[in-house]
Structure 1
């Protein structure tokens, strides 16, 4: 099998890409727009793959990719073309341009860590240690590793560099970089009824009888059966219920220990839109109907149409009709706003019509929320996004 190489954009002021080799253990395919973790000297960075090829660079040893972060491309070919153009037009380093378009949640963060050298002979060199060096060694004996910040807090000092340099020369410690993914999915603890009770109603009735007199446990089971209609739909048990909706944690834990319920974790999407009471679009006035038809006629010939009207003239209702038509065709829609401050009012208006089909994207949302909206656009499950200027980089 021929070795696989990737040219990557890094968040550094470099004139182009750096080339890395995929590890021999890598299986599957990688594409332009995928994300990988790569090293430059001792630091780790998120690399955006520009090109995948089999041409080995000449004149130097190529480092391996550390980890594939996102195998499915987070950038489309159209986005890569746009960002390439932006980099050239604004004379900005391509890596910094590409990384500015992505939510930070896609990237990795690194932290400098300290650990004791397993080969360190303390008794032989203890006399050469200063007071602070001894304190740090004692800290490291009780932990696999600690961060620079934790070490400074424990020693109550502001400068750690000289201590680390001294201990490193004495071969007492090892220094390394630890990385972690910034994006964290939202996970809920859930419970569901053990499958044997779902499949056998006689067994479930016997269970209810056996819990008579154990009020708290009985109430938990009855609450579950009330919320999850397993009598009519046994498959409903699969989704279960959130563990925190039940009162009486000890009673629930008892049911878990008895094997009556089972516990599991589930990743759930974050909600960044407060949905208004649903309404149908308002009846259009004659002027709005005329404007709607003119816009549709223009769109048949042109890619861009300007609908001009003063504030309060009814443009939004025309937009709503146009959005509905595009969504009915299976297309995605980006409703772009010039300022974040304007999105709150527009969110309320659009969510009243489109409900959970509406997503919001701007820089005041958490990085986790932005990553999840990005992925929903990427996989096609997000149909309508209301966003400020940064939303123009979403992978439609």
Structure 2
């Protein structure tokens, strides 16, 4: 009887596709297996088998699976179940979850290549259009060229049209080459070309090499390194590099010895992550308060799966985490330690590695595909106890025996994936993952999210408080500078108040360090002509361009569109271009003028694009090679610097005046977190907040480090207007290149939504940035009850979409997507 497989493709399409399993594969294919399948006319994709059955589909010819890519499945239980939950809750397809979950190196895809048909002759003049000739010329020159390469080289808007036309004429051939992006890391090794018990051949080698002294040195070095002559021990593999170093010779000498038949050269596949040895430190000693919190967490875990550790900044939450990790490892379980930013893994890695050694694995997006595949395969190959530290994508790894999940800085917005789908929250997915494994979940934060703290106070989660800083250091003093008054009194130097400069100078002279926080990257948020008021804007988005001084360019931070800074205003032709506002690049420039003898570093998206850039910046600041750190919200996220005594928040207004129901929470979190970087080495720190609105409630709560007061204030506002934690928000976005059309479609679509959901529907309206990458946007907000089933909501929304398509064909060309629990 024939066997059929339901497979999942890494595409934004609903459901699965049925393929026949070839007879030769019936014993190899299983649920979770990677298989290569033909899709469409010429494409090949890596699919995941989600079900096997013997029911032949009717009404169409079933294609066969082309290839089984692995000897065993690449997924573990309950990964497919987790993908299904994500797809249902975040209103997307499982194919989109698969695309996000699995490293690119494990997703083999076909790439379309074009080559010239040597038998083609142009039948009549004019048969080939100008663009056709360009494509043909490229194919002739390169022999075999990918369609995407043609598009990039020519700039043609739709190369597929040219390719289709040339295919119809028979001028070209199209072929598919399956590309596997994963390349294992290999190491060159050397072995003797004889059996170990072949004494006669070994003596012959020495006789032959008497006159080739360097090759003889190689042989002696090999025998020593490999333990060849130590009969009681196994022969050790010897790398080419180690052999050449021990013998003190070069590679050509080794090649000559191999040519003689003395050595065989080969490559072995190695893990990219070096073994760390056994010289490990002991666990950190817990203070009395930490010990109490540690025991309370264990007590909470007996009653509830999820516990919140609400610990003030610098209270030593990481030390408690390490003891809990050690407990889980002793029980033979695995641990997932989630952090919001890659920057945090840099510092934590050193601390965790010193204690847990090679049981520590690191997983984040700055790793190459090959490195991510290696970690995936290591977890797949071994079910041994280990701790994985990583950002939100770490929830997708194939854990075998998860016992504990720690979500550090659980409030952080970086846990939320924005684009593309699935637009998931790593914290929430981690909680579901832990529950599927029967693991415990610990959420940690100095400023818990309103929703999490609300559930903890209600009793849905356990709650443990840690209210004192480690070493009984006092919380930092907070001083407010009213920038309106300061400017009137001429007490501002650019973005710096004279008081802030004075405090920074005092700290630097005492050998202490300073952090300056400005949550905007680039040199300045905009430039304008002071003569006519012209402001350069993005041609693709409704935003002004940000000025970057280093490259002397104006860049859109939404789509990447870039132009050079003009010398003359394009509108009036006068030399009136001026810089307006401050980004981190300008802050760095200006503070260098104030403290020319101090070394300054900057941490933002522009300076941390490379894999090792975080390490370098953090290491330089930790070791006092730099003493002033300028940064965006990256510097707020749990970094631990003992020498920082002054933190300056340069412009609190941009955070507290943002038009969004979460703006107060975000502002409080960022200011309180960055304040927590101050005063950590047995000394109280100081925070200076510059604002033109010193009476704002959020500023007052930060000044008093009063999270409880802020929570009560914020909860009252949320209840009054029906926002989370009292409801669940689903933002629905419609996008199209025609502004008027998307507006009409959005109004009509929202009408259909109101027929089902009634007053729960708000909008449509244009968001703050109403055009991105030439797509005009409309937003509809759906406020749902917390107890509403997201599976049912998804089904209803799908039905409304299909109804909309049937009554208005313009909906087909409109991009529609959902953002559940937006941040």
Same fold (TM over 0.5): yes
**Alignment partner of 1:187 is 2:190:** no
Q: Which residue of 2 aligns with 1:346?
A: 348
Q: Which residue of 2 aligns with 1:392?
A: 395
Q: Which residue of 2 aligns with 1:168?
A: 167
Tell me the alpha carbon deviations over residues 336-379 of structure 1, each in whole angstroms, 9 at most, x when there is no partner.
11222211100000000111111001111111111111222223
Structure with the bigger RCO (C-alpha within 8 Å, sep 6+) is 1
Q: Which residue of 2 aligns with 1:226?
A: 224
**Conserved in 2, the CA contact under 8 Å of 1:272 and 1:369?**
no
Tell me the alpha carbon deviations over residues 8-60 of structure 1, each in whole angstroms, 9 at most, x when there is no partner.
22222322111111123324232222222222212122212221111111111
Q: Distance in 2 between matches of 1:88 and 1:327?
A: 33
Question: Structure 1's 116 and 167: CA in aligned 2 closer, same or farther, altered over 3 A?
Answer: same
Question: Structure 1's 148 and 389: CA in aligned 2 closer, same or farther, altered over 3 A?
Answer: closer
Q: Which residue of 1 aligns with 2:209?
A: 211
**Conserved in 2, the CA contact under 8 Å of 1:192 and 1:261?**
yes
**Conserved in 1, the CA contact under 8 Å of 2:328 and 2:334?**
yes
Question: Structure 1's 290 and 87: CA in aligned 2 closer, same or farther, altered over 3 A?
Answer: same
The one of 286, 293, 296 equivalent to 1:294 is 296
Instruction: Describe how 1:77-92 pairs up with structure 2 within 5 A.
Output: 77-92=77-92
Q: Distance in 1 between matches of 2:298 and 2:32?
A: 34
Q: Distance in 2 between matches of 1:340 and 1:133?
A: 43
Q: Which residue of 1 aligns with 2:285?
A: 283
**Which deviates further from its counterpart, 18-27 or 257-266?**
18-27
**Conserved in 1, the CA contact under 8 Å of 2:15 and 2:93?**
yes
Q: Distance in 1 between matches of 2:234 and 2:210?
A: 25
Tell me the alpha carbon deviations over residues 225-269 of structure 1, each in whole angstroms, 9 at most, x when there is no partner.
232212115764362323575242222112112221112221101
Larger Cα-atom Rg? 2
Question: Structure 1's 366 and 274: CA in aligned 2 closer, same or farther, altered over 3 A?
Answer: farther
Question: Structure 1's 163 and 267: CA in aligned 2 closer, same or farther, altered over 3 A?
Answer: same
Q: Which residue of 2 aligns with 1:70?
A: 70
**Conserved in 2, the CA contact under 8 Å of 1:6 and 1:50?**
yes
**Conserved in 2, the CA contact under 8 Å of 1:275 and 1:352?**
no
Uncovered stretches (5+) of structure 1, i.e. residues with no partner: none
Uncovered stretches (5+) of structure 2, i.e. residues with no partner: 400-823
Please tell me the root mean square deviation across aligned C-alpha atoms, in Å. 3.1
Q: Which residue of 2 aligns with 1:39?
A: 38
Q: Which residue of 2 aligns with 1:147?
A: 146
Question: Structure 1's 151 and 276: CA in aligned 2 closer, same or farther, altered over 3 A?
Answer: farther
Q: Distance in 1 between matches of 2:338 and 2:397?
A: 11
Secondary structure of the 2:7 match is strand
Tell me the alpha carbon deviations over residues 244-296 of structure 1, each in whole angstroms, 9 at most, x when there is no partner.
75242222112112221112221101128989973122333333333333322
Shift of 1:101: 1.7
Secondary structure of the 1:195 match is coil
**Alignment partner of 1:55 is 2:55:** yes
TM-score (norm 1): 0.85
Q: Distance in 2 between matches of 1:335 and 1:150?
A: 41
Question: Structure 1's 115 and 26: CA in aligned 2 closer, same or farther, altered over 3 A?
Answer: farther
Question: Structure 1's 187 and 381: CA in aligned 2 closer, same or farther, altered over 3 A?
Answer: farther
Secondary structure of the 2:322 match is helix
**Conserved in 1, the CA contact under 8 Å of 2:277 and 2:357?**
yes
Shift of 1:317: 2.5
Shift of 1:176: 1.8
The size of the alignment, in residue pairs, is: 386
Question: Structure 1's 150 and 295: CA in aligned 2 closer, same or farther, altered over 3 A?
Answer: closer
Secondary structure of the 1:112 match is strand
**Which deviates further from its counterpart, 337-346 or 18-27?**
18-27
Q: Distance in 2 between matches of 1:236 and 1:172?
A: 62
Q: Which residue of 2 aligns with 1:22?
A: 21
Q: Distance in 2 between matches of 1:390 and 1:166?
A: 42
**Conserved in 1, the CA contact under 8 Å of 2:215 and 2:257?**
yes
Q: Distance in 2 between matches of 1:237 and 1:151?
A: 53
